[in-house]
Structure 1
């Protein structure tokens, strides 16, 4: 691992002095409607450099994909528009200015919260909206991107966990959720908040950029989920040192990112109910200190295997007041084996996550396969790991395939599927690894402002999804199917009496999706019907002798509607 790290640093140092007139630090924010997935589809068609991994985002399309206008990749807007758009040069070409798209996104849940990967939006019932916009300016190596976000959610009450459970069930719930900042509801009134959003200030030289940012980050090859970092939570303030395009060397190309940032608490309790009727407190207050979060993501594209990307990530999460000294702020060479680094594996309370990933692009077949395998607990030694490699593991894998429609050179059918598995294996019986993203001493867990940094399906959540879509350029129409198991690890500990009868809370969802561009506008829509079986594990008319529990299904409608105006 150290050799790979030093190879990358050497490549960075060499390439920093290679001039590049086209390099700019303008990013495509993670989760940008329509555009975010468009570039990845174009790569399947062989129209984008195959060494760009799409495993470290936000992307820098001008630098890595040779796109002149990030928000008009197919030049359709330049040919047909109401308002002339695109970057404006000044200072004899040394400077660039662009008004960023104005985006208005709306979301609605009819019965209870559903949905993820929506950034600063919160899990909530009812209506919710987010507005964002701003500008990008660059002169020489210095660039500023200001794109704040404002969120409003009606946030009405709904039937949550406390509405259908006993006092002992509430005790069990808090025993698990006291170890993570993951509120069921964000207070008991409408929610509104402004964020820095997708804003940054950077210095970019050659293929390397460094600066301060609040942008969402996505690490790994997943599309519906990511094990370590995604846009499920609001962006957080961080320092970043990253590549803006693949760095080519004799043995292949490299991409990488180092971040060090601040994570904040939501200041909401897990449930609105915090005590039993007899006065027994359920909620244990968490430590009042922001958390220092640092991580590294490095990937390698072998010269001899076209389309293949191999990657590695490692992150650390600790209370800021506990972090002292260089090795604490930059802990990436900390030994994995607890026998070396100490029985607890850490000199002070901190949470570690590691993942390995791969993505293999087949441009001739217009397809890709990808995989990510992560660990949230260190093994005692290598023998321990070899004897139980699935201890504390999580994984995701998926594939995509484009098929050309007969007689239609610009139209395809896109097939995709992805599986995310976060619940523990049978190894938990021998040694419990606890749930992903939760921690016994850093009790906010891997979250920012109450939302999980990684997979939006949450701790112990498993997801199987499949999509079929018609695509033509920026346009896309399709259907999607999902099966979502909620927090299996909590369920197994809280309801052992029904474990053998598989009374899990499982959602089955069917969705219609659409994306369309017209002149300066980009529209996105999603209409999803969800049937929740054993919702919140509230078991009405429970009979252990029967598989089906009547009167215990909940129907929910999840809708998304957005419009983006490109200047």
Structure 2
């Protein structure tokens, strides 16, 4: 990516668009209207095998257990109750999903037993609907995709236990209208398009997931495990969450759909003489999409197509996370996480697959070998202060193993990212009513003064593992994506499961791309900033829990676009867009 300083001097006629050629076949109705077939994605062989394996387990009397990541209302309720001192403070909540045993111990029962021996239970039925009026918005939504318009997901299932074996079947059905929308500006300068592809050729984050409606059935939050005391071993497609953050997590969130994996984890804190430990190791498979970064499949620059298709190969993913609560410091949790991904055909040793069998890093001047794994490391803590009804937390991470430890000490800002949050609950005079105030800051953009910001070396982007840190076209880590930063403020009234609140967010999109592209021309007017104002709430009616979020989002300089005609003032208004985001969920608990 060179020559950016002359971006304003390139003429628009040097570019050429070629229409998408991967559109599905359409049929014409009697009235002449053309209807496209919905974009139905079948289960892969591995998914079919896993689903049949789970069904075999149920027929054999085997069964399951967890509080899924992202289940509406309950996770937030659990965390608030822990701050109030009404729940076990030995649970870090930094490795999720919570096991059924941990949830039941805290009074959260999402199961209806169907037999006297408690060997079969119904799981909650959940229906979530979402709408974006102008462009995709939202993250931490699991099987949903990034799309404009309407989409919905249904989930329900059964769980069972038989001796040490447990099984959970909770498939998810997702439908999205997925219409086209105003994406990266076609009237932008060609050199800017070139720089955009320099970034997004190395990560699987397409603007649009296909060219038609989207429908898919996934195994969802399903698992089969063997349990022994505080430990579980098994296979799962559940979403995972590592770290203390609520809006974002550096290494593992539920923005992307869950992926099939083997897991060895604690199902409750493991007590020792020096304190308690929680942990998880996973080894799984990540898949990609074959969609181009923009809705324009082919874009020619200097007679060459900017889009470089990624290899059609699945990826090994492995990760480990461990948390520790010192016996002498109740309420303090410290932990680390490390992950690695590599294409299946690039595996040369066990160190390529298992992150804890490899060294910390290379020297800062050493080139990254072709085909080498893409690795991430983070350290984090959460300090729960029950007496003050408050908590604060912090996560600090580094992308890949780009440096040795001495290099890190000399320049800790290179390749770093962090998340910081604080939360406080205030009691009201009315019984059991409270006000909660919380702030969370996430920073993934690189330091502008660091020489690395002049290279497309953002978090989650990798030149060897060119699908980046994604699964099926969505982020595994922080949902805000590469180079972004976000500040979130929330004030919430709550009483039990009932809550009403307001959120204010400032989301700055991919600052690394912005500085890479526009620093040479000294044009610092184009930051793409979303200002979001949201009303949130939840309410329970006997067996039913309803939650909703209504957000007004003003996207300033949408897609970093600002076009200045001769005679226009320097400080002019960019291409601003308004987006209305609505999300409504209904959960029915069988009691």
TM-score by length of 2: 0.85
Shift of residue 344 of structure 1?
A: 4.6
* 2:31 paired residue number: none
* 1:451 paired residue number: 474
Rounded Cα–Cα distance in structure 1 between residues aligned with 2:263 and 2:536: 34
SS in 2 for 1:332: helix
Deviations 1:161-185 (A, max 9, x none): 0433132222111111000001011
Could you tell me which runs of 5 or more consecutive residues in structure 2 were left unpaired when the two chains were aligned. 1-62
1:301–1:547 CA distance, 2 compared to 1 (3 A): farther
Within 5 Å, which residues of 2 pair with 1:149-548? 149-276=172-299, 280-339=304-363, 343-344=366-367, 348-406=371-429, 408-429=430-451, 432=455, 434-496=457-519, 499-541=522-564, 548=571
Tell me, yes or no, if the aligned pair for 2:129 and 2:152 is still in contact at 8 Å. yes
SS in 2 for 1:561: strand
1:530–1:385 CA distance, 2 compared to 1 (3 A): same
* 1:21 paired residue number: none
1:39 aligns with 2:63: no
SS in 2 for 1:136: strand
Could you tell me which runs of 5 or more consecutive residues in structure 1 were left unpaired when the two chains were aligned. 1-23, 72-84
Tell me, yes or no, if the aligned pair for 2:95 and 2:280 is still in contact at 8 Å. yes
Shift of residue 546 of structure 1?
A: 5.1
Shift of residue 253 of structure 1?
A: 0.4
TM-score by length of 1: 0.89
Rounded Cα–Cα distance in structure 2 between residues aligned with 1:88 and 1:547: 69
SS in 2 for 1:501: coil
1:139 aligns with 2:165: no
How many positions carry a matched residue from both structures? 526
Rounded Cα–Cα distance in structure 2 between residues aligned with 1:88 and 1:520: 17
Tell me, yes or no, if the aligned pair for 2:93 and 2:244 is still in contact at 8 Å. yes
1:488–1:137 CA distance, 2 compared to 1 (3 A): same
Tell me, yes or no, if the aligned pair for 1:61 and 1:67 is still in contact at 8 Å. no
* 1:87 paired residue number: 113
Rounded Cα–Cα distance in structure 2 between residues aligned with 1:277 and 1:355: 39
1:450–1:178 CA distance, 2 compared to 1 (3 A): same
1:51 aligns with 2:90: yes
Shift of residue 65 of structure 1?
A: 5.8
1:158–1:348 CA distance, 2 compared to 1 (3 A): closer
Deviations 1:40-65 (A, max 9, x none): 11100111111100000001142366
Rounded Cα–Cα distance in structure 2 between residues aligned with 1:192 and 1:99: 25
Shift of residue 379 of structure 1?
A: 4.5
1:410–1:56 CA distance, 2 compared to 1 (3 A): same
Shift of residue 268 of structure 1?
A: 1.2
RMSD across aligned positions (CA): 2.1
Rounded Cα–Cα distance in structure 2 between residues aligned with 1:484 and 1:547: 24
SS in 1 for 2:101: helix
Tell me, yes or no, if the aligned pair for 1:164 and 1:538 is still in contact at 8 Å. no
1:555 aligns with 2:578: yes
Shift of residue 542 of structure 1?
A: 6.0
Tell me, yes or no, if the aligned pair for 2:526 and 2:561 is still in contact at 8 Å. no
Rounded Cα–Cα distance in structure 1 between residues aligned with 2:487 and 2:403: 32
Rounded Cα–Cα distance in structure 1 between residues aligned with 2:75 and 2:559: 33
